[in-house]
Structure 1
Amino acid sequence: MKKIIITALSLLVLVRFGYAQSCEQFLNATNGKKLVYSNSDAKGNQTGKITYSSVKKDAATISTHSEITDKNGKVIGNSDFDITCNGSSVNIDMRSFMPANGNKQMSNMQMQADGKYLSYPLNLSAGQKLDDGSMVITILNNGQKFGETHMDITNRNVVLKETISTPAGDFECFKITYDIRMETKMMGIGIPVNMQSTEWFSPALGRFIKSETYNKNGKLMGTTALVAIN
């Protein structure tokens, strides 16, 4: 009986040690740092930047503020969200996918998002199928609901492991493909949009390094890539 208790306690210590090792690596990788991404259109022309500023909130959470700027450096949107680590996966708040409101006609409107966490297992491997994600964005006009956008991320598949090079450096990543469906409803009228996306996710950083978005016909729409870590 004594041996069983000792064995159980030893296993518990190992589990806790493994949790600390995996999560601490993720938390320390971006704590106090700014990750700058460049957005480009299908022709490679820069359309803007996204800057993520992260601060460690507690032993399992990174609080992140994002600022989106256009090609002229003008701020067109921002948001706040959490990224957590539970010892087995990194979980990114779906609010990080909330688009910027760059439409001048809608500049006086507000957006509120409610969504799930998109999970990335710490033991990623080629051939894995990852959990889906979803989010609802409510558009408000003077406090009144004007419309809403439903966003679903499905068919997330880990394709392979490879090294990706960007101006920020070389990163060992997993290539992940998935489908995106967005439907915006305004005054009862729904406008669906279907896209496909490929991203290269870095387990060491707990973030994607590069992503490409394609329309339903497979034509490249745009690219986002990490260009600096400050």
Structure 2
Amino acid sequence: MEQLLFAFLLVIAVQVAGQAQDCLGMAFKSGMNYELTMYNTNDKPIGKIDYQIKDVHKEGGSTVIDIVAKFQDEKGNQREPSTIRYTCTGNELVADMSGLGMGVLGANSKQELKMKTNTIVYPAKLSVGQKLDDGLMEAEMYMDGAPMAQMNMTLLNRQVESQQAVTTPAGSYDTYKITADINYETRVMGIPVRNKMRTVSYRANNMLFDIKSENYDKKGKLTGYTLLSKAN
């Protein structure tokens, strides 16, 4: 079940939807790369995720952006690439994470992750004191094609708390600190297991990914964090 929760936290780190005619002010093109590095509480890297924009094309009145995500663990082992698709309708940028599961769980895993509901929205422009809409994610895990577990995650009390500079290996950014409470429920064989955690993300306007994100358990103890380590 830790893998399923890990997958959900990755979705939080990369999911964006914005209210902007120019799609967050970014000019998307093939070949753009982003790298996120994950760390444990001892500041030791435990994995990396490389995101590369493979294709940008029009479908009707929308712009579709296909991104390939490659996962690497702390030993340098690569997992099967996943595909993420963003669709820019002109006033909204929506992420389809349905292809994320294989890369998270591993190419040789008999487990399959399927996203059902994936709704997390960030406005194109952030401001201190701004309250953001609640987020909801639902997923199911299958083992050899049979249902194994399901997980629901709700993001509550999302708010822009402050504005501050954050420096990562990718550079220095003027960011907005966003906090949220996370309630999640995992059901295995119909038996629910509930827990809570808290996430803190640092976002810059006109950037597709979080500059930094931190996860805390229900007692307020840091459990890990992610940094934007490359942006080309």
Confirm or deny a common fold (TM above 0.5): yes
**76, 88, 92: which is aligned to 1:73?**
76
Residue by residue over 1:109-158, the C-alpha shift from the partner in whole angstroms, topping out at 9 and shown as x without a partner, is: 11111223321112311111111221221111222211111121221101
Match of 2:184 in 1: 182
Distance 2:99 2:78 in 1: 16
* One of 101, 105, 116 as aligned partner of 1:101: 105
Matches within 5 A, 1:16-55: 20=21, 22-23=22-23, 25-28=25-28, 31-54=30-53, 55=55
| 1:20-68, Cα deviation, whole Å (9 max, x unpaired) | 5x3273243x652121111000111111111112242435442222222
Confirm or deny: 8 A CA contact 2:24 2:205 kept in the other structure. Answer: no
Residue 3 of structure 1 is matched in structure 2 by none
Determine helix, strand or coil for the equivalent of 1:129.
coil
Match for 1:201: what amino acid?
Answer: R
Task: Measure, in 1, the Cα distance between the counterparts of 2:131 and 2:100.
Answer: 20
**Percent pairwise identity:** 30
SS at match of 1:75: coil
Tell me the matched-pair count: 208
What is the one-letter code of the residue matched to 2:199? Answer: S
- CA–CA distance in structure 1, aligned partners of residues 197 and 93 of structure 2: 24
Secondary structure (helix, strand or coil) at the match of 1:100 reads helix
Give the aligned partner of residue 173 of structure 1.
Answer: 175
Whole-Å separation in 1 of the counterparts to 2:160 and 2:230: 25
Aligned to 2:5: none
Structure 1 unaligned spans of 5+: 1-17
CA RMSD of the aligned region, Å? 2.6
Q: Is the 8 A contact 2:124 2:206 kept in 1?
A: no
Tell me the residue number matched to 1:115. 117
Aligned to 2:203: 201
Q: What's the TM-score once normalised by structure 2's chain length?
A: 0.78
* Mapped partners of 2:150, 2:231: distance in 1: 34
Tell whether 2:131 aligns with 1:129: yes
Flag the 1:43–1:97 CA change in 2: closer, same or farther, 3 A. farther
Whether contact under 8 Å (1:94, 1:118) holds in the other structure is no
- If asked which structure has higher relative contact order (CA below 8 Å, sep 6+), I would say 2
Q: TM-score, normalised by structure 1?
A: 0.79
SS at match of 1:218: coil
Q: 1:155 to 1:86 in 2, by over 3 A?
A: farther
SS of corresponding position for 1:23: coil
